[in-house]
Amino acid sequence: MLELISIVASLVICVLVPIQASRIRNGWVHKNFAGDRPRFLAVHRKQFRMLIWLGLVFGILGLVMAPLEDHPGEQTVKVIAAVIWFVVSAVSFFALRTVDKVADADAAGRQP
């Protein structure tokens, strides 16, 4: 059951992160964010870095734990979940690269 929750959560992350990165690149700032655009970018860069490491850690743990399973089919589920977490890491890496392309002058609202 935990593997199923992990797979669903990681698939949701894989869909939402690129959407969020493109919105941020196009100038979107959440209306409830208490700060300016450069601070908003910094917070999301930190979030994307955290997702990169989280995907790597869960992916490695899934691959390490897969051979230890006794039930039939559990190894396959753990490997699939690990691969999806590696995809989360890759998607977050490319989202970070997308947000990093936003210039600081543009982030502050000034024209370059």
Buried b (16+ CB within 10 A) or exposed e, 63-73: beebeeeeeee
Let me know: does 26 contact 102? Beta carbons within 8 Å. no
Write out pLDDT tens, residues 70-109: 888 889 999 999 999 999 999 999 999 998 887 654 655 5
Which residue type is seen at 108?
A
Residues 92 and 19: their CA atoms lie apart, in Å, by: 11
pLDDT tens per residue, range 65-81: 999 988 888 899 999 99
pLDDT band at 110 (very low <50, low <70, confident <90, very high): low
Q: Pick from 51, 64, 60: which is nearest to 91 by CA?
A: 51
What pTM does this model have? Answer: 0.86
- Contact predicate 93/52, CB 8 Å: yes
**Domain edges within the chain:** 42-102
Q: What value does the mean pLDDT of the chain take? A: 88
